[in-house]
Amino acid sequence: MTAPQGLILQRFMTAAWSAFMAACVLELMVFALVDPMDLGWAGLHPLWSRQGVYTVAFFAFWVIVMASNCITMALCGPTAQVPDSSAVR
């Protein structure tokens, strides 16, 4: 059984929005605690600017958290329909 198109879009946007908010929090922590110019691998420094590193980190956080949210929603299965409050008396 397939879910209606509107439900799929709503679930995707729920995953995207919560992932965006989580990526913002993670990026704030990285921005406060990490200086990209201090990072290095075998004595080599990053080729990107600080802003470039922060931008890539933000989008990486967003994609990772969104994938996690989508997997969680897929494992939860279809949502139960909440009855109309006017019908419950």
pLDDT tens-place values along the chain, 89 residues long: 456 777 788 888 888 999 999 999 999 999 999 888 887 776 677 788 888 888 999 999 999 999 999 888 888 876 655 555 665 55
Per-residue burial over 30-44, b if 16 or more Cβ lie within 10 Å, else e, is eeeeeebeeeeeeee
Structure tokens, 60: 């990486």
CA distance to 8, 31, 40, per residue, from 20 (Å): 18, 16, 28
